[in-house]
Structure 1
Amino acid sequence: MGQCLAKPTNGGDDSEHNVEFAGGNVQLVTTKESWEQKMAEAKRDGKIVIANFSATWCGPCKMIAPFYRELSEKFPALVYLTVDVDELAEFSTSWDIKATPTFFFLKDGQQIDRLVGANKPELQKKIIALQHSAHLK
């Protein structure tokens, strides 16, 4: 399924900013401190976090972003984050991102699942399952 493995070397047009990657219940994480704060809030509230590591130059990331926003509105019991791998390059490297988009599913800051690529059916299936388990508590 669609994924980007490396940044294009033609310089890419960075004028498009991350606005398209936020919206709905999706929050854009632009600093490590912001990440830690959102993780602490989710842990305190007992919520599962979905972190989308993506890039503005990545076609599949752009393609799945509106769908991710849509899911965030349909299934609001989860926390939806987007991290720009270029903006937080060092942080993203610590997550061993090999391709974008990569979605991490986290509970109490620990990875419980992961999805690499812009696979809409699989992303929706995982979110529905997590939303369901969140309601069983």
Structure 2
Amino acid sequence: MLKRTLSGKVINDAEAVLQVHSAQELKDILQRHDGKLVVLMCKAASCRPCKMFARKYQRIAAEFTSKGAVFFEILGDESADTRKLMVSMQIRVTPTFCLFRGTEVVQTVTGVNSENLQNAVKDQLAV
């Protein structure tokens, strides 16, 4: 679906965020995008704030993809593997956004304040 980003650019936001379904898939993604900023939204199906923030996350992803960041999301209650991954990452609140460089988490943002997430992404892209 075509949408406008926060800056007014028209994009197909359905392609901006991809799903992660396992720990191995996340590991492969981080290796494949080594050197880039990888943003992972950790969410739950029953999380109302996660559902409400989904469109904003798509727009933020579309905005920053052209600047070198890549965006993914994981549904913690999708399977035992995704639940185990979120526990191992010490995710206690949804939504939580983990910003990776290589295989290391360089910053974590919690909650649905889009400005906080945008500022974190901007700061990490400037590094």
User: Normalising to structure 1: TM-score of the pair?
Assistant: 0.75
After superposition, the CA RMSD in angstroms is 1.5
**Paired residue total:** 110
Matches for 1:18-29 after TM superposition, within 5 Å: 23-29=14-20
- Following TM superposition, by how much is the alpha carbon of 1:25 offset from its aligned partner in structure 2, in angstroms? 1.6
2:89 is matched with which residue: 87, 95, 108? 95
Query: 2:108 is matched with which residue?
Result: 114
Give me the identity figure in percent.
Answer: 25
Structure 1, gaps ≥5 residues long? 1-21
Query: 2:71 is matched with which residue?
Result: 80
- Following TM superposition, by how much is the alpha carbon of 1:111 offset from its aligned partner in structure 2, in angstroms? 1.1
Query: 1:50 is matched with which residue?
Result: 39
Structure 2, gaps ≥5 residues long? 1-12
Matched, 1:124 2:118: yes
Q: Partner letter of residue 128 of structure 1?
A: K
User: Normalising to structure 2: TM-score of the pair?
Assistant: 0.80
Matched, 1:30 2:21: yes
Moved over 4 A (4+): none
* Post-superposition CA distance 1:42-70 (Å, at most 9, x none): 11xx1011111001211110111111110
* Post-superposition CA distance 1:62-117 (Å, at most 9, x none): 11111111011111111111011112101110011111001111111111110111
Query: 1:62 is matched with which residue?
Result: 51
Residues 24, 70 of structure 1: 8 Å contact kept: no
* Post-superposition CA distance 1:7-31 (Å, at most 9, x none): xxxxxxxxxxxxxxx9332110012
Residues 27, 103 of structure 2: 8 Å contact kept: no
Q: Partner letter of residue 80 of structure 1?
A: F
Q: Distance in 2 between matches of 1:115 and 1:78?
A: 16
